[in-house]
Amino acid sequence: MAPRSNWKGYLKLSLVSASIAIYPATSATEKVSFNTLNRATGNRLKRQMVDSVTGDVVESDEQVKGYAVAKDQYVMVEADELAEIAIESSHTVDIEKFVPKASIDDRFRDTPYYLAPEDQVGQEAFAVIRDAMKKKKMVGIARVVMARRERVMMLEPLFSIPMRSAAKTPRSRTSPTSSFPSRW
């Protein structure tokens, strides 16, 4: 079965752009998943949202997002407020800079994807960028909006197509000293 792209747009470097598609580099088809069942009847169970204080079931039309500002204190954010601040996608993978591949800490790597040119016109520009990165042993650091979130990407040449790996920001990585006792 031919792979399906997750995202389509443009790879942009200064004034050069190429039409591209992003494909998943991993598959969850081998993943085993289970449903929770009622032992007595064998029927599948449904989850319900329950108020943590009153224990009452809260219907979906009464649910709202909340941002914690202190212990047990939240600012409620309505769906229309979230829609107003949603990041608009320009459908562009914008390469901001190139850095030596050896300077990237593996702990910043996240979900791998493949980037490929989408049409004949973009193949030449795409190949120029890919081959230059390979020759110089550099990776591109780029930003893209996918699924309403801005993501940092590391573009790495791999075979005849660059491999894209969604990178974690330094803020999202935990420090080993804060995660493990000092006696280790």
Q: For 145-184, how does the pLDDT look when each residue is reduced to its tens digit (9 = 90+)?
A: 888 888 888 998 876 655 555 566 655 544 444 433 444 4
CB distance 145 to 52 below 8 Å = no
**pLDDT (average), residues 33-61:** 93
Domain boundaries, the chain: 7-25+87-172
Whether CATH 3.30.465.10 fits 7-25+87-172: no
Lowest mean pLDDT among 51-65, 71-85, 128-142, 150-164: 150-164
CB distance 56 to 43 below 8 Å = no
What percent of the chain is predicted at pLDDT more than 70? Answer: 85
Pairwise CA distance, residues 8 & 117, whole Å: 10
Highest mean pLDDT among 2-6, 88-92, 166-170: 88-92
Pairwise CA distance, residues 22 & 6, whole Å: 6
Q: Which of 93, 88, 96 is nearest to 163 (CA)?
A: 93
Question: 3-state DSSP: the chain helix, strand, coil percent, rounded to 5?
Answer: 20, 40, 40
User: CB 144: neighbour CB atoms within 10 A?
Assistant: 23
Residue 128 pLDDT class (50, 70, 90 cuts): confident
Lowest mean pLDDT among 4-13, 43-52, 167-176: 167-176
Pairwise CA distance, residues 145 & 110, whole Å: 16
Residue 104 scores a pLDDT above 90: no
Secondary structure letter of residue 43 according to DSSP: P
**pLDDT (average), residues 118-129:** 84
Pairwise CA distance, residues 9 & 20, whole Å: 6
Residue 36 pLDDT class (50, 70, 90 cuts): very high
